[in-house]
Amino acid sequence: MKILLAASESVPYAKTGGLADVVGALGVELLKQGADASVILPLYRTVRQKFKLKPLSVRFSIRLGPIIETGRIWQAVKTEENLPVYFIENDRFFDRDGLYGNYAGDYLDNASRFIFFSRGVLETVRRLKLSPDVIHCNDWQTGLVPLYMKTLYQRYMGDTASVFTIHNLGYQGRFWHLDMPLLGVGWEHFNMEGIEFYGKINLMKSGIVYSDRLTTVSPGYSREILTEKHGFELHGILRKRRADLSGILNGIDTAYWNPATDSCLPANYSIDNMAGKQTCKAALQRECGFRPLKKKPLIGLVTRLSEQKGTDLVVAVAEKLLKKHEVQMVVLGSGDESIEQEMLKLMNRYKGTLYVKIGFDEDFAHRIYSGSDMFLMPSRYEPCGLGQMIAMRYGTVPVARKTGGLADTVIENGSRQNGYLFTGFTARSFFAAVDRALKIFLRRPAYWKMVVRNGMSIDFSWSGRVQQYLKLYEKTLSEIRLINDP
């Protein structure tokens, strides 16, 4: 089976969040399990700077309204498992510092950028004669691919099926209707059953409407998005496609996220020999300017600083915890400028017990996952969440809100307990959950050890998940073939 994964980010090339982890790991694991997988991404500036690439002698032109834009296809030279990774070059669109925007906000031409990329995906399929069985698209940046497969590129598609995965419904790629001529398809698609959304173009909706199958990144989230509360105004259209929608829980790359071999850590450890975790904790305490006290609970956070992640609750609870000097806390994050400022202000007030680093720092993230005792994820909503899984793998206990993928992975009661949960989105219930964790950490070390061990024993690898994707691809493909050749 030939699968092309189309996305706007993938590790190790470009990452702003979990989407990148998922695409990279899924590609490699599909290959390992015998599928013929490849990945296609935009050629961002950082990719060109950091990776060895070769240009393929293929160029293409695309009309975006009155302008002709040209593109070129590149390929990564050395990749894990020899996974073929293609890049779409257009320097006007992708030779920039950010993936989607900069300090001033989203790039104003994001519609053009991702229309171009989506068409570039199909130009690549056509010109390199890739003939994939499935094009697996991810989030709004690739939401037009399924539409193009059924329109502009239909004759090159044969029996190719499209699968569209929603990683986060909160980001939809909504653009004004005057961008319609850039799309290259007729206004007949601009209606309630198509890509129109309250007078605007909605690229996430395009993926939902035109793909053959839909998935989300956890079973819990696949149910939640059908409700008004979590559907971001797309619940109606999602309900119509309920029969084609399923949730497959994300995995993590367990070879990469492995405390026993992780080269970013000052010491390695495993479930059978945890001594190294203490070394990691002491090193993290020093790095953050904290006193290296073994028994002091150290709480970590690695997150996008956005409203979705419940950072307002973090601020509220941190104040309360730090005032009493009960804990040490380290926050690594970037995103919303006002939240960044708020976090930095808090750090000034609690120097010595709170350390905040604004930015994206992969190595520091590893040191936080390993050196902390607890990890906070009080998300307003959470499609899957990788942080809680990575934390558990590193023997760090998550305290999380019971929503979406967090509810699917974190267990608070019984002999399988691996973390702490709260339900209502209030500082009070969040604090109560952290407090429960703290009490056990401080007073019942044997019980804490059980919680840690439970988390570390879970199989978060992609191997089982990939089986689910492969089954879904097979099913979708056989249906498409039946329709095309009854």
- Let me know if 154 is exposed, middle or buried by CB neighbors in 10 A (0-12, 13-18, 19+): exposed
Contacts of 150 (CB under 8 A, 6+ apart): 210
Out of 111, 115, 302, 397, the residue judged to bind ligand ADP by CB under 6 A: 302
CB-side exposure of 163: number of CA atoms within 13 Å? 28
Q: Quick one: 166 or 390, whose CB is closer to ligand ADP?
A: 390
- Does residue 357 sit in helix, strand or coil? strand
HSE (side-chain half, CA atoms, 13 Å) at 342: 18
- Shortest reach from residue 360's CB to ligand ADP, in Å: 4
Q: Does 18 bind ligand ADP (CB under 6 A)?
A: yes
CB closer to ligand ADP, 250 vs 268: 250
Among 17, 146, 173, 300, binds ligand ADP (CB under 6 A): 17
Piece in contact with ligand ADP (CB under 6 A), picked from 93-101, 357-365, 428-436, 471-479: 357-365
- Minimum distance from residue 332 beta carbon to ligand ADP (Å): 5
Residues 152-181 that bind ligand ADP (CB under 6 A): 168
Distances (CA, A) of 338 to 107, 254, 305, 307: 19, 34, 9, 10
Q: Give the count of residues interacting with ligand ADP (CB under 6 A).
A: 20
Tell whether residue 361 is a contact of ligand ADP (CB under 6 A).
Answer: yes
Contact 221, 159 (CB under 8 A): no
Q: How far is the CB of 305 from ligand ADP (least distance, A)?
A: 8
Q: Which is nearer to ligand ADP, 339 or 384 (CB)?
A: 384
> Nearest distance from residue 306's CB to ligand ADP, in Å?
8
Which residue, 167, 174, 170, is CA-closest to 222? 167
Smallest separation (angstroms) from ligand ADP to the CB of 155: 36
Residue 362 near ligand ADP by CB under 6 A: yes
- The one segment of 37-45, 120-128, 241-249, 378-386 that binds ligand ADP by CB under 6 A: 378-386
Determine which residue in the list 21, 80, 123, 212 makes contact with ligand ADP, applying CB under 6 A: 21
Nearer to ligand ADP, 377 or 433 (CB): 377
280 vs 296: CA distance, rounded Å: 14
Burial (Cβ within 10 Å: 0-12, 13-18, ≥19) of residue 61: exposed
CB of 362 to ligand ADP, least distance (A): 5
Stretch touching ligand ADP by CB under 6 A, among 13-21, 95-103, 150-158, 414-422? 13-21
422 DSSP β-pair partners: 401
Nearer to ligand ADP, 211 or 303 (CB): 303
- How is residue 14 annotated by DSSP? B
142 or 303, CB closer to ligand ADP?
303
In whole angstroms, how far apart are CA 285 and each of 117, 260, 273, 297, 363? 44, 20, 21, 11, 15
Sign of torsion over alpha carbons 225, 228, 230, 236: positive
With binding defined as CB under 6 A, does residue 139 bind ligand ADP?
Answer: no
Give the 3-state secondary structure of residue 290. coil
Query: Which range in 11-19, 53-61, 265-273, 417-425 contacts ligand ADP by CB under 6 A?
Result: 11-19
* CA-atom Rg of the chain in angstroms: 23
Nearer to ligand ADP by Cβ, of 350 and 369: the residue is 369
Q: Does 404 bind ligand ADP (CB under 6 A)?
A: no
For residue 446, how far is the Cα from the chain centroid?
Answer: 34
Among 135, 214, 365, 434, binds ligand ADP (CB under 6 A): 365
Q: Closest CB to ligand ADP among 44 and 74?
A: 44
Q: How far apart are CA 132 and CA 117, in angstroms?
A: 18
| Interface with ligand ADP (CB under 6 A), residue from 43, 149, 204, 386 | 386
How many Cα atoms sit within 13 Å of 399 on the Cβ side? 26
The CB-of-326 to ligand ADP minimum distance in angstroms stands at 25
Structure tokens at 286: 């020093």
Work out whether 387 is an interface residue with ligand ADP (CB under 6 A).
yes
The CA distance from 437 to 420, in Å, is 7
Range list of β-strands (E), 43-169: 53-64, 67-76, 85-89, 101-102, 105-106, 134-138, 161-166
Q: Where in 220-259 is the site for ligand ADP (CB under 6 A)? A: none
Q: What element of type H or E holds 338?
A: helix 337-349
The DSSP bridge partners found for residue 166 are 216
Contact predicate 224/169, CB 8 Å: no
Say how far apart CA 205 and CA 174 lie, in whole Å: 9
208-216, 230-238, 329-337, 440-448 -> range binding ligand ADP (CB under 6 A):
329-337
Binding segment for ligand ADP among 271-279, 326-334, 416-424, 464-472 (CB under 6 A)?
Answer: 326-334
Task: By CB under 6 A, name the binding residues for ligand ADP.
Answer: 17-19, 21, 168, 302-304, 332-334, 360-362, 365, 384-387, 390
